[in-house]
Chain A
Amino acid sequence: MSEILLEIDGKEVKAKSGMTILEAARSVGISIPTLCYHEALEPFGSCRLCSVEVEIHGRIKLVAACVYPVAANIVVKTRSAKIDRIRKMILELYLAHAPDSFVLQDLAKEYGADKDRFEKESSFCIHCGLCVRYCAEVKQKNAIGFVDRGARKEICFIPEIAAQECWDCKECFPLCPTEALQAAYVLSQSLFSP
């Protein structure tokens, strides 16, 4: 694999082609916050918390670091007033769902996000898809999936598969950034009150 030189936060970074900005940044100890990213899973690009500014041919655009492939001579900024403002808004939108999540609370502190900015929503789920993707990609069971779309989208266990597989596994529970509450609740619900 060929080596690519790029700049992240003023630092020259050597990366391999095919790497994402997130991987390149983390390889040199630059941290970019993420929620839907997991080393063992295909990048998903849904939480947008890893949004960073990239300058290409003199134009600056916001991209998701977890899916954007490194390219030679691009200049990446992982913090700016705009990035911080957008991350703060994303966190506030999330906190309407899961105000008690420790991960979210820590990030909220860093970005000054107000957990009460929006009215509370009834579902804890923040749709990071870690449980869904882990079950599909690592366990290859597909016992949990997304149903519906848009604002009505929810996670759902498939009772036929879940009854066979889930009790002895539950490996998705600790992945949940909302403290597994949602996954445990949804699992019980689909098995006991279908």
Chain B
Amino acid sequence: MTRINSPADLEKFRQGILSSRDSDKLCITLCSGSACQASGSGEVAASLEAEIEKQGLSSKVEIRKTGCHGFCERGPIIVIHPDETCYLQIEPVDIPEIISQTIKEKQVIERLLYSDPVTGKKIVHESEIPFYKNQERLVFGNNLKIDPKSIEDYLAIGGYAALTKALSEMTGEQVLEEVKKSNLRGRGGGGFPAGIKWEGARNAPDATKYVIVNADEGDPGAYMDRSLLEGNPHSILEGLTLGAYAIGAHEGYIYVRQEYPLAVDNVNKAIKTAEELGFLGKNILGSGFDFTIKVHQGAGAFVCGESSALMTALEGRVGEPRPKYIRSNIKGLWDKPSVLNNVETWANVTLIINKGANWFRQYGTEGSRGTKIFSLVGKITNTGLVEVPMGMTLRDIIFKIGGGIPNHKKFKAVQTGGPSGGCIPEELLDLGVDFDALSQAGSMMGSGGMIVLDEDTCMVDVARYFIEFLTDESCGKCVPCREGLRQMLKILTNITIGKGKEGDIELLEELSETAKEAALCALGQSAPNPFLSTLRYFRDEYEAHIKEKRCPALSCKELIAFYIDPEKCQGCGTCLKKCPTDAIIGGKKMIHIVDQEKCTKCGTCFEVCPTKFSAVTKISGVPVPPPVPEEERTVVKKSKEKQ
């Protein structure tokens, strides 16, 4: 490749790419992010390539493997351009039909379209599907358009224009001012204003400074940074380079977890091609500015997402946090001023410089500008990645975009902000989501995890689950976190197995205070949140577990029993056949009984009992009624009874 040495060179290069592309040519995009690969997009791609070859269309149809589209519930997704016909949940068997019908005959295949669950109406275009229609995809949108392995694709949609603009028309200080003016807040956790962080580093006297991408996303269920880095790596490189220019750094690092192999591949490939074309390296675009980026693979410790632990790990030492009484923008990596932001934040920087702070500020709320990508998972109809303006209500995100709770269950709470975030109950569904509103509600933005919980979820068990995760992921350096969490987990576990006692809640509160106030790093300080937020909104559940040994959600195994209602049992024998532990006593036309001694509470009987009978029930907090005497167990049909 020829090196691009000036903005004029770049424009010529871009025009060259655009003129070689025929916008009327058919292009099939297929999402190939990690989530879609797990649901088989690799096989779909192979059969797509083979079928196009077979039908002799190679010169007429282009295949583009893009990053994640976000609608992972319905992946793999195919979009056929220029018509933008969108097909969901594609399997290799569908490919011959797609090629012969849609590509050759321009016929839309109804059964592969999105069908509205309420009206049953079929939707042809991706952008009109409610999941997408209600989003504002400023950062994530380009994922759908480009092959992340192709720098030409990125350039074709205007890539590296922000960098060109900054290097040719702006000083580093002006870039900084623009970011400050945008009031961009870090998307990785704390929501610290990026511009202020950068300014500290810029003004620090050291000549050597660093910029770092935190791609150590490790929250259970969260994959927005992963999908961005996989799907649009150049936008991150561009943002990072802009940050380096603003603060005067010449070296940057991308700390990405090893468990993200596709992200590592794509970002390495992106760095290589960006270096070849002269977007990285010496004298970028002839401006005299030098900048290089190295990729560091993290070994998968959750705590390394904490900035000081990440920097310690980058230095080649054990990834433990250090006290941050001197901020890392003054004394960070190798004690040099270092600016660390997460993937999504850096991607926003590219947008801000491209379109200006004023443009950016029109999105979002007063205190939280722009959009935020959330990973919407759990008990939700449309699992996936959603990007919405800050301030959109939880209700809109969960019901309008997410499609609500499946299986006609009731919404109970949404857990936001990752393991050390909190649970927000139904009465706060109209909360507009931004950094401050979530904190006030006792949760936090975190990096944008959103786990939806339905009525079958026990909130004490949710707290126990997250505290267990954090106990496991604590680095173990300071006492309030290591020992405090160890004790909190023991108490919470006891509560969920019916061994809770008076005073447990108060003890948990005391342990929470110690961790919140005295732990060394943000992980420890925020670790009690899962307990504190569930206590705040669901105290009655804690009390029911402790005082009545009752689990109101009928979820904690040790506190529930399966019981067959003799009035409803028709002696069909389904549960008897399916029970893996032979814990069901019964016979033909006999009322079935659960042998509580043998029952392991696996719930199979509950699941298999025909809905028309619904005889198997879960009970908690009350003794199991004694079994019907053997001589009275014959099922009497109600109609016969009357005669």
Q: Which residues of A pack against B, CB within 8 Å? A: 45-48, 51, 62-64, 67-69, 82, 85-86, 89-90, 93-94, 96-97, 118-119, 121, 126-127, 146, 148-153
Contact = CB atoms under 8 A, between A and B. Distances in A.
B312 interface: no
Which of B476, B489, B510 has the most CB atoms of chain A within a 10 A radius of its CB?
A: B476
Contacts of A118: 487
B476 A48 contact: no
Interface stretch (B179-187, B197-205, B235-243, B467-475): B467-475
Most chain-A CB neighbours within 10 Å: which of B322, B474, B487, B513?
B487
Closest CB pairs A-B (n = 10): A153-B476, A93-B483, A150-B474, A67-B323, A151-B486, A89-B514, A48-B518, A62-B517, A150-B476, A149-B476
A118 B490 CA distance: 10
Interface string B505-517: 0000011011001
A94 B478 CA distance: 11
B323 A48 contact: no
Contacts of B318: 146
A93 B476 contact: no
Contacts of A97: 483
B107 to A, nearest CB: 58
A121 B487 CA distance: 10
A151 B318 CA distance: 16
24 contacts: A45-B478, A46-B479, A48-B478, A48-B479, A64-B323, A68-B323, A68-B325, A89-B480, A89-B511, A90-B479, A93-B484, A94-B483, A118-B487, A119-B490, A126-B479, A127-B482, A148-B476, A149-B475, A150-B471, A150-B475, A151-B474, A151-B483, A151-B485, A151-B486
Contact of A64 (B486, B490, B514, B520): B520
A148 B303 CA distance: 13
Contacts of B46: none
Contacts of A86: 480, 513-514, 517-518
A46 B487 contact: no
A113 to B, nearest CB: 12
Nearest to B477: A46
B484 A150 contact: no
A153 B486 CA distance: 12
A130 to B, nearest CB: 14
Most buried by B among A121, A126, A151: A151
A127 B291 CA distance: 42
B519 interface: yes
Contacts of B518: 48, 51, 62, 64, 86, 90
Contacts of A149: 301, 303, 473-476
Interface of B: 301, 303, 318, 322-323, 325-326, 471-480, 482-487, 489-490, 510-511, 513-514, 517-520
Contacts of B519: 48
Contact of B325 (A47, A67, A82): A67
Nearest to B490: A119
Contacts of A48: 478-480, 518-520
A34 B94 CA distance: 69
Contact of A82 (B480, B486, B490, B517): B517
B513 A85 contact: yes
A45 B475 contact: no
A127 B510 contact: no
Contacts of A85: 510, 513
A42 to B, nearest CB: 11
Contacts of A127: 476-477, 479, 482
Of the listed residues A48, A93, A146, the one surrounded by the most CB atoms of chain B closer than 10 A to its CB is A48
Contact of B478 (A46, A69, A152): A46
Contacts of B323: 45, 64, 67-68
B326 to A, nearest CB: 7
B60 to A, nearest CB: 56
Contacts of B513: 85-86, 89
Contacts of B325: 63, 67-69
Contacts of A90: 479-480, 514, 518
B473 A150 contact: yes
A148 B474 CA distance: 10
Nearest to B476: A153
A143 to B, nearest CB: 17
B511 to A, nearest CB: 7
A150 B478 contact: no
A93 B513 CA distance: 14
B476 A151 contact: yes
A6 to B, nearest CB: 14
Q: Which of A69, A93, A150, A151 has the most CB of B within 10 A?
A: A150
A97 B517 CA distance: 22
A57 to B, nearest CB: 15
Contacts of B490: 119
Given A151-B486, A152-B476, 20 more contacts: A45-B322, A46-B479, A64-B323, A69-B326, A86-B480, A86-B517, A89-B480, A89-B514, A90-B518, A93-B484, A94-B483, A96-B487, A97-B483, A127-B476, A149-B301, A149-B474, A149-B475, A150-B474, A151-B471, A151-B483
Nearest to A61: B517
A80 to B, nearest CB: 11
B487 A93 contact: yes
A88 to B, nearest CB: 9
A35 to B, nearest CB: 9
Contact of B483 (A63, A96, A148): A96
B482 A150 contact: yes
A51 B478 CA distance: 12
Contacts of B489: 151
